[in-house]
Structure 1
């Protein structure tokens, strides 16, 4: 293959460009690139090769289209894909390869082998560190939601059990993974209810919620709402439906687990324990930020930036909440995260998603949705409906923050 340098990037034959774009699209989708970002990036990649591309991505398929000129026949392929997983380290490595392609320092043929090798690279964080990610996320989140010290201690224990169920489900196959949101909530609900027999002041909802926090679908629900607003209807409906189904599975599992436990033990009513003093936030909040980075497999190289940007976003949330209310806080937090992440992406040339996804996950509304469904299940329909509606308000507030942030600092096309 002959490689020449054009003003926009390396010019390659349409056959090589087509094959390479298919490979990049499938890999980026698998590692967690969102539909909108993937479509924009593939269009930019095709343009860099000297061709016109049209792409449509949903969580279950990608439609590829490529042509040499506006009048030439378009090549089209629809590729079925499994729902994406988040592996931000591999997404970052893919971004590094594509950066070299754009700079003209790496040929498409050589890049093929590099992309194939990415799949074989082990995660940057092993099983123990990943387990700590679950524990840190739960322990960091519980006090923010109003849990006490005893609640937080049991959250740490149950987070380890949740991680074990996730590992076991992955080994058992697709069916086990499909029901994993229910099984993790069921086991956690059963154990937490059993513990409440001996610790009457245990806050059941907060303990269960914090223990399964990593797999709450708040990001999926917010992403779905955002994609609907931006006219990515198929992808938006899929993500929204998947997020709501996951929430229903989780609350169903928690109810079944609690019901099984109450058949064995008798619960006594007691006032919830006093929340952890906010002065301890300097200890538990960094655990939340590090935990999210570990859970999403952010590389060692990017972890400090991920933690920093998420921390700044949270400070903006606190500032906005103190000025007016939580909705203004979420808006300012999202704007801050998007602006800083885009500056970081421009400076480093790495995919913005690496540092933006953990920050957005910290801000989104899955916890509110879970508590809303829990309130409905317990018979408090008014509070449940209000919390459920608030979940979508938070999602739309985060979406508005993303739009404003992108308007202030326009992002480079990246995964």
Structure 2
């Protein structure tokens, strides 16, 4: 094959790989590192700038002429199963098991794969994740039940948004508005329902705690544009969610006149472990993990939660989060070295169990309304310290045990 055609083929594969990694939710510094690794293998001079909303590729051919490719993209959702398949595809290309033409064809197949779990299982996973979060907050079984029901309603809106661009543009505030109206109606006949907490649990899939943590991680890695964009997008998502919930609660109070709240007996401590299992299992579905990878990811959730819980009794919440993130990072890097798969597969799921995104929402509610959704002293400073501890824990874990993969 002539050099010019070979160059075009290599360039085409790199560009499609970059688009695929972005589509599957890979963060910027991991995407850039992986693309650079593949480009070096293909003996291609290339540079990359990856952000949540744009991809920039620069290639240098044999005549030292630059070829630039820029594409505007939208922030994507996590698809860890496709990410694992893409990583295996690159390994097969590097080992010579696939030609570049075969790799291009396989990459297109992976990108077009449907959700392996289907609508029905995903529907129940949304509801179960909301109920599991309510359990983690040590609320009552009554709140867990209603959180699950409203979580199923949120799933319907998400499925609707997949078919309607207009709904997609207003998905977060619309979902939180409807959940708040429903919670107010429930509270008007059941005084033992903690309506604000039920709303938070129902919309927990939208709370951008993971995005905030990843954004801070990107900033710590000096990927300033990507980190800033991710954090600002997360903040705007929080604002949209809170406005919808605030408006829904206000309208609900006007229409249904909720009864005064009567606190119920909180759940036993052991239910937190059940909640971690349910939450990790449902996240395996929502993140589209492959069946053979899901048990390792669920175990990562227990590693993160158990270490954090144990360390918190001796070191406090912030340093407990640091210990949990450190243990999770070491575990995910060991998983990568042993299984020859990206550490992100187990890292991101376990990180969701640790991130305090819900506390940001609670703090926002306390600051604006002056009312406490839950009694959490010094929630602002506590949340900030936990976020910093999570980032620091991940950095230290990468120093202690290096991952075999760039993803």
Q: TM-score range by the shorter chain?
A: over 0.9
Q: What residue ranges of structure 2 are gaps of 5+ in the alignment?
A: none
Contact preservation (8 Å) 2:328, 2:347: yes
Contact preservation (8 Å) 1:184, 1:212: yes
Matched, 1:146 2:134: no
Aligned partner of 1:56 in structure 2 is 49
Secondary structure of the structure 1 residue equivalent to 2:163: helix
User: 1:206 pairs with 197, 200, 209, which one?
Assistant: 197
- State the shift of 1:386 in Å: 4.4
Matched, 1:368 2:359: yes
Aligned partner of 2:168 in structure 1 is 177
- State the shift of 1:2 in Å: 9.3
Aligned partner of 1:9 in structure 2 is none
Distance (Å, rounded) in 1 between the aligned partners of 2:13 and 2:242: 43
Aligned partner of 1:7 in structure 2 is none
Distance (Å, rounded) in 2 between the aligned partners of 1:319 and 1:53: 46
Aligned partner of 2:336 in structure 1 is 345
Matched, 1:242 2:217: no
Q: Report how many residues are paired.
A: 404
Q: What residue ranges of structure 1 are gaps of 5+ in the alignment?
A: 4-11
- State the shift of 1:384 in Å: 9.6
TM-score, length of structure 1 as denominator length:
0.92
- State the shift of 1:307 in Å: 0.3
User: 2:129 pairs with 133, 137, 151, which one?
Assistant: 137
Aligned partner of 1:102 in structure 2 is 94
TM-score, length of structure 2 as denominator length:
0.94
- State the shift of 1:320 in Å: 1.1
Aligned partner of 1:33 in structure 2 is 26
Aligned partner of 1:165 in structure 2 is 157
Secondary structure of the structure 2 residue equivalent to 1:13: helix
- State the shift of 1:148 in Å: 0.3
Contact preservation (8 Å) 2:284, 2:349: yes
Secondary structure of the structure 1 residue equivalent to 2:71: strand
- State the shift of 1:73 in Å: 3.6
Distance (Å, rounded) in 2 between the aligned partners of 1:387 and 1:248: 18
- State the shift of 1:222 in Å: 1.4
Aligned partner of 1:332 in structure 2 is 323
Aligned partner of 1:82 in structure 2 is 74
- State the shift of 1:272 in Å: 1.9
Contact preservation (8 Å) 2:49, 2:57: yes
Task: Write the deviation string for residues 243-291 of structure 1: whole angstroms up to 9, x where unpaired.
Answer: 0111111111111111111121222323321211113334333111111
Contact preservation (8 Å) 2:138, 2:268: no
- State the shift of 1:16 in Å: 2.0
Distance (Å, rounded) in 2 between the aligned partners of 1:385 and 1:271: 21
Distance (Å, rounded) in 2 between the aligned partners of 1:290 and 1:329: 23
Aligned partner of 1:6 in structure 2 is none
Secondary structure of the structure 2 residue equivalent to 1:214: coil
